[in-house]
Amino acid sequence: MFQALSEADQVSTLHQQAQEALKDNETTRNNLKHNEFNLWTMPNIRHATAAVLGVEGEPLKWIESRGTKEGRIEMAWELGEAVLSFGLVAAGSYFTGGLGAILLRGSALLSGHSTLSQTNELIKTNAVTNTALDPTAGLLPPEMKQHWGWAAAAWVGLGLDAGTASFQSLVKKGDIERF
């Protein structure tokens, strides 16, 4: 496909890709500088670092064990957040009055936190996969690049959560009759 382009289009395409890679490099540098990554949960980076440093044997086993542990901790927090959010929605739907409205608003707030976290993670991960002109030479492999559809789905979910909380507040107050 690239070779079928005219010389001017090839230059333009390469220029655009270089600019995107430079921008993603800067994003990645800033994220690393501000400790936005848990590098223990990134196996490719762990493996490359251990290989460059010549780490073998027991220290390498410890590094792999630590990476697995950090990944499990991260997964546990995400699972806990999902369970808490589901519990708040279920309880908010069950209870009437102010308590139900408060629980649903809490769920919407938690959903907002989760949505922002997912969007931030998507931006960070996608930048790390595009740190070189060669798509296979980024800090993370190209298959780890995430699609924006997941972020869009999270934002739609947040809107539905907020709408549910608002709707239930109207129902509880009796203001729904205006609609």
Per-residue pLDDT, 95: 82
Per-residue pLDDT, 73: 94
Q: In this structure, what is the dihedral angle of CA atoms 51, 52, 56, 60, given to the nearest 10 degrees? A: -70
Per-residue pLDDT, 84: 92
Per-residue pLDDT, 177: 53
Mean pLDDT by 10 residues, the chain (179 residues): 84 85 83 79 83 91 93 92 89 80 86 88 84 77 82 87 74 54
Counting every residue written for the chain, the total comes to: 179
Per-residue pLDDT, 172: 57
CA angle 13, 17, 18 (to 5 degrees): 115
CA distances from 82 to 74, 75, 88, 123, 138 (A): 13, 11, 10, 21, 31
Per-residue pLDDT, 2: 76
SS3 assignment, position 93: helix
pTM of the entire structure?
0.65
Per-residue pLDDT, 179: 46
